[in-house]
Amino acid sequence: MYRSDVVEAEGVQPGAVVLVQEAGDTGTKRHAGKSARAIPTLSDKNVRPTRPPVTRTLGSAFYSTASEIAVRMISPKPVNDIEQLIRERIRAAIVYRERFVQDTNAYRVIFSEGDFLPGLIVDKYNDILSLQVLTQAWDPDPMRNIFLSELRVALNPRVIVERIDPRVRKLEQLPERESGIVWPGNSPKYSNHEDSFKYSNHDVIPNRFSGEEPGVPGREAGSSSFRSAPLLGMTSGERGATGASPVEGSTPAITTEFQMNSVRFLYDALGGQKTGAFLDQRENYAAAEKYARGEALDVFTYQGGFALHLARSCDKVTGVDSSRPALEAADQNAALNGREIDWIEANAFDLLRDYSDAGRKYDTIVLDPPAFAKSRQNRDTAIRGYKELNLRALKMLRPGGILVTCSCSYHVSASDLLEVLASAALDSHRNLRILENRGQAKDHPNVLGVPETAYLKCLISLVS
Ligand code: SAH
């Protein structure tokens, strides 16, 4: 619920749990049934709703005093015990993964609205948990203690790291904080060597986070936003005060190896060469591998997610990306799997233009670009970008070839992408049969009625 929908939120503290009531009696409301008041819950004893009457209670929510999304619903009922609710939801999220996530030890454990825990994201890479706090509600120490303790008990990680996106903290008016280890505590300051700067996402790896516009949870690889990583503090109540200054001791290794679909990957949560994965593509990798054949080109390969899978079903695989550090990590992953893959550092648009003009041909092409539409405003430009890429790729596919085309722009819908593909097919005089119309992996649950939880599209087509 947007700030403009809230007609009253007197005395509500940043990140508070509020009771949301429909405000039917106000002249300021914009559209019927949309305006609401946020009432501090009774635990906030000194603040009371001031202006009844209200028509209807909509439920409980987290309130943000800063974000455009002022109200994020957490329950259709009043919530009396937020700790119990959070613990139950985390346990439910884990049970869901146990039931539906297979063939991997790397997956998203908590997907914000997708797990009814709006503003919290937790990824698991083998024995490391990597979390992101996206809203005011999750930032205070008591709240951190709740979710950290629940995650530790349920998943028994070796290390928990927090990844900070400074833009998100700024938007939520949260104090500055740096990426680092949040558990175990007593860790010394993480080294701030030069590579952290060189490989920082802001410099070289365009962020795929599509949540520029409020309300879009977005997508992001584990690599982003890491720079140096000083001690963030301990789990207070268990190990003493939070925010303690760095102390001597051994740093838990924040590198590990994980696998998905039996393909091995390196993970370095905070170090110089930050690695990670687009976990949301896990099931699409396996699907693409099934259809792929011959000579393959993986465009926007990042650390080789598709390329490494295609290498098991294709004769020759080339991965393209504009980020050298990403390709270096991709090459290490290839070595880990005993695969020979060619990597090309290039701007994908230039490369596809040159290759298609030169009459190069492939049997399989994967297009998995970053989110071109970061907001509704640049949807049209984004659609032109997708069209250009798909047109070039179609020109380069041999008859019987396979096109895997993806979009992680929330603002470009599944039907938009189909339209783009249809128009590219028309322009290139190719016939396409859609073999699979796919979305994000099931550890990024798509909740019916919460459109923002569906953002990734992946179409696999047979081109003749
Ligand atoms: N397919 C990857 C994810 C791709 S993320 C996987 O499954 O893991 C998008 C990638 O596009 C990033 O690695 C980024 O470096 C790259 N990129 C962004 N703009 C680019 C451009 N113009 N040309 C080539 N690569 C680009």
Spatial separation of the C-alpha atoms in residues 278 and 353, rounded to whole Å:
26
The predicted pLDDT at position 325 comes to: 94
Q: Does position 448 have pLDDT exceeding 70, yes or no?
A: yes
What's the distance, CA 102 to chain centroid?
A: 19
Largest Cα–Cα distance in the chain?
A: 73
Which protein residue's CA is at the shortest distance from atom 7 of ligand 1?
305
What's the distance, CA 279 to chain centroid?
A: 8
- Is 285's C-beta closer than 6 angstroms to any atom of ligand 1? no
Mean pLDDT of 39-61: 65
Mean pLDDT of 137-155: 98
pTM for the full predicted model = 0.85
Q: What are phi and psi of 269, to 5 degrees?
A: -65, -40
The predicted pLDDT at position 38 comes to: 86
**Is residue 180 within 8 Å of residue 162, measured between CB atoms?**
yes
pLDDT above 70: percentage of residues in the chain: 80
User: Which residue among 321, 327, 456 is best mutated to probe the pocket of ligand 1, counting the most ligand atoms within 8 A of its Cβ?
Assistant: 321
Residue with the larger pLDDT of the pair 274 and 381: 381
**Is residue 131 within 8 Å of residue 160, measured between CB atoms?**
yes
303 token code pair:
């650390």
Mean pLDDT of 7-35: 76
Mean pLDDT of 103-108: 97
The predicted pLDDT at position 32 comes to: 42
Mean pLDDT of 251-258: 87
Distances (CA, A) of 253 to 128, 159, 257, 269: 9, 8, 12, 9
Q: Per the omega criterion (within 30 degrees of 0), is the bond before 76 cis?
A: no
Radius of gyration for the chain, computed over Cα atoms and rounded to the nearest angstrom: 23
Helix (H) or strand (E) holding 388: helix 379-396
Q: Does position 232 have pLDDT exceeding 90, yes or no?
A: no
- Is 302's C-beta closer than 6 angstroms to any atom of ligand 1? yes
| Confidence category of residue 252, pLDDT binned at 50, 70, 90 | confident
Q: Does position 214 have pLDDT exceeding 60, yes or no?
A: no
Residue 227 CA, ligand 1 centroid: distance in Å = 20
For residue range 307-360, what is the model confidence (pLDDT) as tens digits?
A: 999 999 999 999 999 999 999 999 999 999 999 999 999 999 999 999 999 999
Q: How many helices (H) and strands (E) does the chain have?
A: 10, 19
Distances (CA, A) of 50 to 22, 39, 72: 14, 9, 22
DSSP structure class, residue 274: -
Residue 408 designated active-site:
yes
Q: What is the mean pLDDT of the chain?
A: 85
The predicted pLDDT at position 373 comes to: 87
Among the residue ranges 201-215, 229-243, 381-395, the one predicted with the least confidence is: 229-243
- Measured at the CA of 256, the angle between CA 287 and CA 317, to 5 degrees, comes to 35
What is the 3-state secondary structure of 209-274?
CCCCCCCCCCCCCCCCCCCCCCCCCCCCCCCCCCCCCCCCCCCCCCEEEEEECCEEEEEECCCCCC
Residue 300 CA, ligand 1 centroid: distance in Å = 4
The predicted pLDDT at position 276 comes to: 75
Exposure string over 277-287, b if 16+ CB within 10 A, otherwise e: bbbbbbbbbbb
Residue with the larger pLDDT of the pair 142 and 235: 142
Question: In terms of DSSP bridges, do strands 316-321 and 342-345 run parallel, antiparallel, or are they unpaired?
Answer: parallel
First to last CA, the chain: 46
Ranges assigned E (strand) in 112-221: 120-125, 128-133, 159-162, 180-183
The predicted pLDDT at position 28 comes to: 45
Q: Does position 436 have pLDDT exceeding 90, yes or no?
A: yes
Helix (H) or strand (E) holding 416: helix 414-428
| Confidence category of residue 52, pLDDT binned at 50, 70, 90 | low
Sign of the dihedral defined by the CA atoms of residues 54, 56, 62, 68, in that order: negative
Torsion, CA 386, CA 388, CA 390, CA 396, rounded to 10: -160
The predicted pLDDT at position 218 comes to: 57
Q: Does position 208 have pLDDT exceeding 60, yes or no?
A: no
For residue range 377-412, what is the model confidence (pLDDT) as tens digits?
A: 999 999 999 999 999 999 999 999 999 999 999 999
The predicted pLDDT at position 25 comes to: 57
Residue 39 CA, ligand 1 centroid: distance in Å = 44
The predicted pLDDT at position 209 comes to: 36
Q: Tell me, what amino acid is at 311?
A: A
Residue holding tokens 């558990």? 183
